Every structure is written in structure tokens, then in C-alpha cells.
Structure 1
């Protein structure tokens, strides 16, 4: 058996009874053995806790941190305090992990000592019952391209070496663009990012809920960009995207 680096995924949850079981199962059915799932949920009032308890009892690699958090960013930070893996990622309680994702991470880690590795994904449009491949921009993961393209990859499709989180945590004041904000800080200290053209997860999108959240996220992401941009960066600004974002506000 080849050596496997330990991979930890953090799953915040709040009243996710409709989707959390399938998300947990997507992790369980991944045949990679040196893995860990940290579920952070102290506030759910639906049947989530019953479902979580069922899987924690059955699988030693699933841990439940039952504490009250102040939102998703805080929940991830709580998870970071309890992980034991060398590679750390995030899995939403409505996301599905692809069957070979953890193997892909492990294989590349022994070829490249990356600071972070990131992937494409599938988006499942629930209302239309359509699945589409979502590819990341094939550009360098750096500050300039974060300004040009926005969030280069969704948080559920990027996995970090633990040394990254030894340096920093998520800003809990950002509830919807915490990934975009921390990316700006990460690229100031780390530069070895590996992009793999493989769909790591399936992310669900509902027109009624996801579109509303997307509008809120757009506003918050714009504020994040304004926080980190300088006058020298204006030549990199995507003016068309900024105009469209302004309209969405």
C-alpha cells in the first residue's frame, strides 16, 4: 500500500438535514483510508444532529465538534483547531466529494510540495436538473489574478498544506466571501499553488436560494477587493465585471 498523507476536511453545518447525509456518504465512500472529517454543528434544530451522531458512532474518522459558532467562517476556524491532517480542506454539507479527489491530492503532494492544490468542479442546477463542468481560470494564483478574475476557485475545491493555517485563520466578519478574503492574505506569504483539471466536488445550486446568496456574496467580495487594492492595481481591474456587480447591488 502506498504511503498516504492524512487529509482532513471540515464540514460546518446548520439545519442541513436534507443534504448532510449524502455529503457525509460521499466522504465515507471515498476509499482513501488516511482521512478525517470534522463536522462542526452546535446549533441545528432539525434532525442534523441525529444524522451526524449515526455516522460518528459508525466511523472513527468522523469527529463531531458540538459547539455554537458565529457563522461559517467561525465554524471553519473551530474545525481548524481540531484537525490532525497534513492537508486541510472544506466540504459543504450540501456538497458531494468526487470519488478520486483525495487520491489526486495525495498523488500530487508526493510529486510537488504545494502550499495549496485546487481543482475544477461540477455544478448541479437543481431546478433545471442539469450538471455543468465549472473550470477554474488557467492562470497563476496570485494577487493580480484575484483582482482580475475574483475568487479563482470555490473553497470546497482547494486544499491547503497545514502550514498555511499555522500562519492565519478565516476572518469571521466575512460570512460569504471568506475564501476570497483569505486568498489575498495567503498569496502574500505563499506562492506554490497547483491546479489540476479534475472535478473535485459536485456543488448544488438552487435558483431561489443560491442566486440570492450569490448577490450578497458579490457585494461582500467587492468590499474585500476594495480592502486590498491599491492605486497601482487599477490597470488590472475588470471594469465590466465591476459594473455588473454594481447593478446587482
Structure 2
């Protein structure tokens, strides 16, 4: 059977939100798709609801698997996806009924490898009308390097990082998988997919509704698994270095360093019993030191402080506090 789009939904519990999510997909104006629901070992009725949808609509396929996290669910969906294009939707979110029609049409008209739309943050109790759409919106086109630079222009709104506000050509995922166990799995592959693309189209219209849910990973208190993001950012810096993309490597290294210090001291201040994890995390910094010394945007004082941290984090804190007090005088 010829299928144009495979839409993959990783599912773990949250049965009370699942219907809204799936219904928003099944009522899309674009109909030539398969919907792959990946039940990641749910302990509520989510798995049963998936099977009910499959019995009602022959476009729905269901995978029941042992709990392994969202990355393993995305990978499981990719393994059986038959579409020429891939889309993702998270099971606690929902989408505008025109989303995949607009993304697909832009992909065809512009021969784009990836089409990106904007997203809207909504509260769990907020009710939006997914049937309305603005027809007047800006369209931008990027090559791979321009799109990767856009990541660092808009670090506070990672539109190009998230997996779910996009339509991808299927062959981009050849030999690329989301990193199992990493709760920031999107950070592990976004740069690889963008780098492999010749053309990325960005439509400035909010078609994806991202539900800001209490208890979600993003809204949860700081915990040790959030170190996953630092490891992902470090691997991105190494990726650019290996590809000899010097300008991107410099930006990725700075992003990694800023995030490293932020998370390192968040953990040190707020978590107990994490000395082992902090030591392991510091190893990534120590390996980065030579590249930090060669960074053009980092001043010599910062480089000295980085070297001091690498030798002894406690001395670094003393020096940092001394400098801060001098500045405040």
C-alpha cells in the first residue's frame, strides 16, 4: 500500500489526554497517512485505547513494547514506517487539522527535505479550536548550514530542535536513531537531520499545540537525568568538529560550556549524593579544555577560569566568588 506520511506517536500513560491527541490526527484534512501508535509499556488504559483506534480506523497501526522511553518509541515507529515522509506528535499534545496538509504541500512545492511550523504553548485545561487557520504567514527557506546557525540565534525557543513540529523526508533517518535512554532525545539527532538536508522550509504559523502539563519532564524539578542534555550538546560539538564545520563548532562549544556550568552548579546546590555523576560530567569538560582555549570568543580571563575549574572546581568557586565581590564593591 502506497503511503505518503507516517505519523508516529510515542505513548506512555496519560490516557486522559490521548483521545484529544489521536482525534486531532485522524481528522486531518490530509488523509494519505498511517498513524503508528507506540505503546511504551503503559500501565493505564492507553494501550487498550490504541487497540480500539486500530479496530475503528485501518490507517492506525499499534506497537506494544516494553517500557524503554520516548527515544526507543520513536525508533520503534521508524522501523515499521512505510511513508515517504515522517511526522511526530507527542501523546499529550494535539495539532491543528490543517497541519500535515500545509507541511506536506510546502514539502512538495519547494522540494524541501524538512518543513517546520511554529507551535503554541497551551495549558492542559485550555481549549483551542484546531479547525481555524491563518492563511497569511511568512515562509522562509534555509540550507543546512543556515538552519543549523538558526539554532543558536534562537536558543531560547528551539523550534528547529523539537521533533514534533516538522515533516521529514523518510530517507533522512537512514542510519540515524534517537539515543535510547536520553530524555533529551531530540537534541541527539536534530543537528544530524538538519545537516543532511539540502533545503529546510519554515512556515511561521502555529499548527502544533504543545501542552504545558504539570509533571512533564520539562516542567519537573531539576534532577540528575537532565545531565543528558549536556552530553547531547557535547556530542553535537564533536559532530561539527568532525565535519570540519568550524563556525558551528565554535557556537556549539559555547552553548555546551554555558549549559555545563549552569547544570553543574544547579546539581551541586540542589541535589544530594551526586558526586559520582558530577565527576563523570566534568570529564566531558576536561576533554573540551583544549578546544575552549582555541575558542575565539572566549577571553583570556575566562580561559584561565576554565583551566582552574578543570584542575580544581573548589578553587574555581573561591576565585569566582572573589571576583564577584570585587565587582560589587
Report TM bin, short chain.
Answer: 0.7 to 0.9
Change (3 A) 1:147 1:222: farther
Q: Give the aligned partner of residue 31 of structure 1.
A: 29
Structure label with greater radius of gyration: 2
Which residue is equivalent to 1:184?
A: 191
Query: Which 4+ runs in 1 deviate beyond 3 A?
Result: 144-153, 207-210, 213-219, 230-236, 238-249
- Contact residue 11 and residue 39 of structure 1 kept, 8 A: yes
Q: Is the 8 A contact 2:40 2:69 kept in 1?
A: no
TM (norm. structure 1) is: 0.82
Alignment deviations for residues 112-147 of structure 1 (CA, whole Å, 9 cap, x no partner): 1111111101111337x598xxxxxx88311x4445
Question: Mind listing any 5+ residue stretches in structure 2 that lack a counterpart?
Answer: 129-139, 268-329
Number of aligned residues: 237
- For the residue of structure 2 that corresponds to 1:212, the secondary structure is coil
Shift of 1:218: 5.3
Q: Select the structure that is richer in helix.
A: 2
Distance 1:181 1:213 in 2: 22
What pairs with 1:130-149 in structure 2 (closer than 5 Å)? 140-142=146-148, 144-147=149-152, 149=154
Provide closer, same or farther for how the CA distance between residues 27 and 187 of structure 1 changes in structure 2, counting only shifts above 3 A: closer
Gaps of 5+ in 1: 132-137
Q: RMSD value over aligned CA atoms? A: 3.0
- The 3-state SS of whatever aligns with 1:54 is helix
Tell me how far apart the structure 2 counterparts of residues 111 and 211 of structure 1 sit (CA, whole Å).
Answer: 38
How do residues 198-209 of structure 1 correspond to structure 2 at under 5 angstroms?
198-209=205-216
Partner of residue 230, structure 2: 222
Secondary structure at 2:80's aligned position in 1?
coil
Give the TM-score taking structure 2 as reference length: 0.63
Compared CA separation, residues 240 and 228, structure 1 to 2 (3 A): closer
Q: Do the aligned partners of residues 207 and 58 (structure 1) sit closer, same or farther apart at CA in structure 2, a change above 3 Å counting?
A: closer
- Aligned-residue offset at 1:217: 7.3
SS of 2:171's partner is helix
**Within 5 Å, which residues of 2 pair with 1:25-174?**
25-41=23-39, 43-126=41-124, 129=126, 140-142=146-148, 144-147=149-152, 149-150=154-155, 151-153=158-160, 154-174=162-182
- C-alpha change, 1:179 and 1:219, in structure 2 (3 Å) is same
Partner of 1:196: 203
Secondary structure (helix, strand or coil) at the match of 2:164 reads helix
Contact 1:97 1:201 in 2 (8 A): yes
